[in-house]
Structure 1
C-alpha cells in the first residue's frame, strides 16, 4: 500500500478495470483521454486541466479535421506551482519559518531597535524570502497506441459537437463548456478511480505515480529518464517513486516460508 498521503500505484489489472468502468458512464471519450494522458504521459491534474488543443493536435484550415502530433510539448507555465493563464493561481501561505543562528540574532536586534523607538513592528517584514517553484518544460512523445486512439476519438467527438475549434481552445471542457480548474479535474479523476472503478486510496496522482513506478521498477530505466518524463527539477524528487509496486509486496507476503 502507498505511504500515508501518497496516491496509490495501480496494477495493470486495476488500470484495465478503470477503463472498463469509464465505458459505462457518460462522456467516455473525454474521460478515457484524460486518464490515458495521466497513465501514459504522467501529467499532473493541473497540467491536464491547462492543456490546449494545439498541445496534442494540428487543426486543418477549416478546423473540421486534425492531425495528431507525435510529441506533446508541455510549456513550463503549465507545471506545478505556476500561474498559467490565470487559471491556476497558487497562494503561498507560510505556516513555519526557519532561520540560521546568525540571521535570527540579526532579526532580534532589529526588533529590539524598533521596539525602543516605539516604531510599528510588522512580523512579515522579518520573514526570510520564500523560494518559488519554477516550472519546467518537457517534450513527451505520444507513442502509446491506446493513448493515441483515445485522443483521436475524443477530438473527433469534440469536432462533431462543436464544429469549430481553435488551437488555443481548452483540450478538456466541463459539461458547462468551460475549462476545468485544476481542483475540479482532480475531483473528477478521483471520482473515476474511487467511485467508478472502486480503487481505494487512488487519486488524480495515481496515473503519474503508476507510470514513474513502471519506468523505474518494471522497465529498470534510469532515474534520469523518469525525472525527464516527470518534469522534476531535482532527481531527489523522482527518487521518492523508488518504492516497490504493491503487487510485489503482495506477492512477497503470499509466499512466506
Structure 2
C-alpha cells in the first residue's frame, strides 16, 4: 500500500541505532524526547512543534528553587494542533491547492457558462470557477503515554528544562530550538531529517518516519485492526491509514532473495 518516495519505516535495529547516535551529539535529552514522541505516539511534525508543557506534564509548586512536575498519563492532543490548522498562530505551513477536479458534466456546464459570459463581454476571473476546496479539519485525540522509554525521555528532558528555567510556564513550548525559540514545522522537519539521515545514515528517513513506523508496527507486528491505527493517527478514513502502513523491510528481502523460479533457455 506504500507510495514511491514515502518516508522510511525503521526496523527495531535502526531505531535503536538512531537513539544511540543521538547521545553523541548536542542536546541528547531533547532529541531523544523528540524521537520518542514521534515513534511512540505517531504525531505529525506540526503537532510536535506546537506541543506545550501542559500537554505532557503538570507543573507543581516550586521547592528549593526548582519547580516540580508530574508526567500525565494521557496526551490529550487538541484539534487545533492537527493537520491544516494554524494553532497559536505559530505555524507558517501553508497547504496550497495543486489540482482541481471536475466531472465531465460539470466541465461541460462550465464551458457553456464561460462562453456565454464572453459573448456578453463580461469580465472573466478564473478563480470564480474553481470548485469548492475541502479543507482539513483538526481532530482531537487522546494518546496514552504508557511506554516506559517515552516517559523516561520526557522526564529527563523536562527536568533539564526546569533546571535551566525555574520559572517555566505551563503554556511554554515543549521543545525549543538551539536559539531558544519554538520550532516551526519546517524547522523541526529539517532537524528530524538531519538526525535520521546524516547522524544515523538512514536513507529516506524523515519526520514522517516515526508516524509510518508506528502504523506499520500496530498493523503488522501487533496485529491490531486498522481502526485502532486509524484512531491513533487521527485519520478520517481507514484507507488513509493503510497508505501509511508498509510491510516490514525484512519480509521484502526474504521475498526477493529466492523468487522460486529459474530461467530455462
| Fold-level similarity (TM above 0.5) | yes
Shift of 1:94: 2.9
- 111-120 vs 145-154, which moves further: 111-120
The partner residue of 2:211 within 203, 208, 211 is 208
SS at match of 2:75: strand
Please name the residue that 1:100 is paired with. Answer: 103
Aligned residues: 256
**Do the aligned residues in 1 keep the contact of 2:3 with 2:243 (CA within 8 Å)?**
no
Instruction: String of CA shifts for 1:40-94, please: whole Å, max 9, x gaps.
Output: 1111111100000000000013371100000000011111111111122443433
In 1, Cα distance between equivalents of 2:100 and 2:254? 44
Shift of 1:254: 3.9
The partner residue of 2:87 within 77, 84, 87 is 84
Q: Using a 3 Å threshold, how does the CA distance of structure 1 residues 242 and 208 change in structure 2: closer, same or farther?
A: closer
- 234-243 vs 136-145, which moves further: 234-243
The alignment's C-alpha RMSD in Å is: 1.5
**Do the aligned residues in 2 keep the contact of 1:190 with 1:202 (CA within 8 Å)?**
yes
Q: Using a 3 Å threshold, how does the CA distance of structure 1 residues 229 and 175 change in structure 2: closer, same or farther?
A: same
Q: Normalized against structure 2, the TM-score is what?
A: 0.92
**Do the aligned residues in 2 keep the contact of 1:216 with 1:242 (CA within 8 Å)?**
yes
Please, which runs of 5 or more residues in structure 2 have no aligned partner? 261-265
Please name the residue that 1:52 is paired with. Answer: 52
Please name the residue that 2:234 is paired with. Answer: 231
In 2, Cα distance between equivalents of 1:201 and 1:101? 39
The partner residue of 2:160 within 157, 174, 199 is 157
1:250 correspondence with 2:253:
yes
Q: Using a 3 Å threshold, how does the CA distance of structure 1 residues 16 and 104 change in structure 2: closer, same or farther?
A: same
In 2, Cα distance between equivalents of 1:109 and 1:17? 62
- 51-60 vs 103-112, which moves further: 103-112
**Do the aligned residues in 2 keep the contact of 1:58 with 1:66 (CA within 8 Å)?**
yes
1:67 correspondence with 2:70:
yes
SS at match of 2:61: coil
Shift of 1:105: 2.6
The partner residue of 1:116 within 116, 119, 128 is 119
Please name the residue that 1:7 is paired with. Answer: 7
Shift of 1:141: 0.3
**Do the aligned residues in 1 keep the contact of 2:77 with 2:140 (CA within 8 Å)?**
yes
Q: Using a 3 Å threshold, how does the CA distance of structure 1 residues 28 and 231 change in structure 2: closer, same or farther?
A: same
Please, which runs of 5 or more residues in structure 1 have no aligned partner? none
Instruction: String of CA shifts for 1:149-199, please: whole Å, max 9, x gaps.
Output: 000000000011111111110000011111000000010001000111111
**Do the aligned residues in 2 keep the contact of 1:49 with 1:182 (CA within 8 Å)?**
yes
**Do the aligned residues in 2 keep the contact of 1:82 with 1:89 (CA within 8 Å)?**
no
**Do the aligned residues in 2 keep the contact of 1:213 with 1:243 (CA within 8 Å)?**
yes
1:38 correspondence with 2:38:
yes
Q: Normalized against structure 1, the TM-score is what?
A: 0.95
